[in-house]
Structure 1
């Protein structure tokens, strides 16, 4: 009788124990998730609050509460000027958007093509080549810094935007995600039927594979944008002109100027720059979250 009542309950009222979770376990997981969320959001809240302060108030007031005078707009307007002598923040922001956008497009396209090749073309040495691509994740960037710089100097990529974009278009993680996503989302029978109808490989890839793998493509886009947005070491090697700096290197130079004390009121400008730096990534994730969640889960649960 009790089983019959349970089966008649609507999905939103199914007891938690049917999912294998006790109420105490749910409470603990909720508390852990809340603590983790606070840990992640606390720095963002600190940036948002202290971006509204003067330099004296940054050091002299509670970091997690506002103070008068409200200085947010003055700090934001300073981002459009060379207040430190190291460069203009808005130029660094534009550079980062360029690098991240071009790298995301290139990495997504290359990962999709490579993933499709590994997933649907059986050629000699496919697994060995795939594992070789994955093994590059084990190589630390510091170990190839000097050879990379020497190669860049030989081919003229030092102080070139392509020196930042081209390496960022190579994404072993993207190749892995697209291979696993295509394995589970693109039926072989559908591809075979398209070939029997006379469709070429390029047409199959563009008209069938890409539309069926949109969540996976969005996942690669997000991962690439975040990786390029946060990349510090590569632009530090490639660029020695501040006009080409991305946000990571530009904010580092601004932080150095603030630490030396050679310029006044640089700390709140640096904080405002940090706030503006994280906002595009947050907005991008919120906008593409439903695709990213599906693509990440699909890529992590299939093999």
Structure 2
């Protein structure tokens, strides 16, 4: 018996070691390198940076001499918030990113919840087909799908949507559907909708039907049952789907660049500019580090909130 426990404990150790090794190799180490770059000193014509670890002649170990200039620039922008004429290029990009990410998450939730609810209530034979249709866009390159939206939203007479509206006599001149915030929002909702549907489906399909039957027996109407029973019990799916959509949407770069045409400024574009044309790697790294830290905070809070409320089984009971 003791040997069996030892084997089980050893198996759990090696099984748990794999995700930790994965996180260390593909998140912790790259993030540590980004932090190092953010504390470095940029120099003209010497890309990308001068390391904060400096070794003088005759020294055995390098000295850590961080340069917080990039973080001070972000701090100064924050202090200048609300000052007329202040240059808030990074905060403006942050604000635009958060607004578009929040709208994307909200629209994905409003569209994805009925999708997930319908799939979860469908016959078992039809669920696999419906789930395959949800995941079907992933069979095509992400970049190709964005280019397809450029064809659909083309602001000339060649654009499919404009062509249909002109043929139907709804409009007389083509609409400016491309290279604006609306086009970016449409592209982001389309791209991230499956990330909302799948967690919601996984939650709703496990919902105990006896709870809904009990509510109906007690005289609750379908809408009341949904608001008082189904919606609260699907909270975990809503939180999981919202995080899966909101977090990558904040740093989105491809969709704003192609569908926004440079007219929609988001934080991903600012980071790309500093890493690329501006050759200011420390500033780009500082913005990336700040973005990660800002996004980690709500994740930790939501995780603690979920643990405090207990599991789905406890909620269902």
Judge conservation of contact 1:49–1:65 (CA < 8 Å) in 2.
no
Equivalent residue number for residue 287 of structure 2? 273
Do residues 62 (structure 1) and 49 (structure 2) align?
no
Count of matched residue pairs: 270
Equivalent residue number for residue 207 of structure 1? 228
Aligned counterpart in structure 1 of residue 210 of structure 2, from 189, 201, 222:
189
Shift of 1:250: 2.4
Q: Which runs of 5+ in 1 are unaligned?
A: 4-14, 82-86, 260-265, 299-303
Shift of 1:222: 0.6
Measure, in 2, the Cα distance between the counterparts of 1:165 and 1:177: 21
Shift of 1:188: 1.6
Equivalent residue number for residue 74 of structure 1? 72
Measure, in 2, the Cα distance between the counterparts of 1:151 and 1:258: 33
Equivalent residue number for residue 107 of structure 1? 108
Structure 1 window deviating more from structure 2 (279-288 vs 42-51): it is 42-51
Change (3 A) 1:29 1:49: same
Do residues 51 (structure 1) and 38 (structure 2) align?
yes
Q: Which runs of 5+ in 2 are unaligned?
A: 55-61, 81-87, 155-161, 163-174, 313-317
Cα deviation code 1:158-177 (max 9, x no counterpart): 23322222333342242222
Which is bigger in relative contact order (C-alpha 8 A, separation at least 6)? 1
Q: Provide TM-score, normalisation by structure 1.
A: 0.73
Structure 1 window deviating more from structure 2 (224-233 vs 283-292): it is 283-292
Equivalent residue number for residue 194 of structure 2? 172
Equivalent residue number for residue 143 of structure 2? 142
Shift of 1:127: 5.3
Do residues 289 (structure 1) and 296 (structure 2) align?
no
Structure with more of its chain in helix, by fraction = 1
Shift of 1:28: 4.6
Q: Provide TM-score, normalisation by structure 2.
A: 0.70
Judge conservation of contact 1:218–1:292 (CA < 8 Å) in 2.
no
Measure, in 2, the Cα distance between the counterparts of 1:292 and 1:231: 27
Measure, in 2, the Cα distance between the counterparts of 1:180 and 1:31: 26
Equivalent residue number for residue 246 of structure 1? 266
Measure, in 1, the Cα distance between the counterparts of 2:242 and 2:4: 38
Change (3 A) 1:62 1:293: farther
